[in-house]
Amino acid sequence: MRIQSLSHCAYKHQYHIVWGTKHRRKWLKDYIKEELISSLFNTVKKYSTLHIEIINTDQDHVHIQIEIPPNITVSEAVQKLKSNSSIHLKKKFKFIREMYLDWDGIWSVGYFSSTVGLNEEQVRRYIKWQGEKEKPQTNKLF
């Protein structure tokens, strides 16, 4: 993790954020995932103190490891990421627009947040693993 600074503080705040699709619908396919990631990085570009370390998805939820400075609340950062990506994906994909006709957006209400702390590499591996199928175990000894 890198140490960042603002005018009156130095910080090292990283979070593991997870949110799901509304109704846990499984529409986050690879081609949509590319657009989602692009949208999230474009949102972060507008806020120079936010920094995304890693993003990955399963078909019905998103995992992000993100650095958020102390002058921005976690809920503000998540709200911006979710709302901007919702608008972008609805514009880009007709089936998403049709699936979610209401104005609430495409994401479920709420999110999970935890601080990364000293287990940064473990969190990073977990996020990379998202979307992978568990490999069946075999009884082979060698």
Tens digit of pLDDT for each residue in 82-135?
Answer: 999 999 999 999 999 888 876 678 999 999 999 987 677 888 888 888 877 655
Identify whether 138 is part of a domain. Answer: no
Domain assignment of residue 14, yes or no:
yes
Residue 46, CA distances (Å) to 37, 102, 108, 116, 139 in order: 15, 27, 24, 24, 51
Structure tokens at 61: 């939820």
CATH number of 35's domain: 3.30.70.1290
Counted domains in the chain: 1
Domain interval for residue 28: 4-128
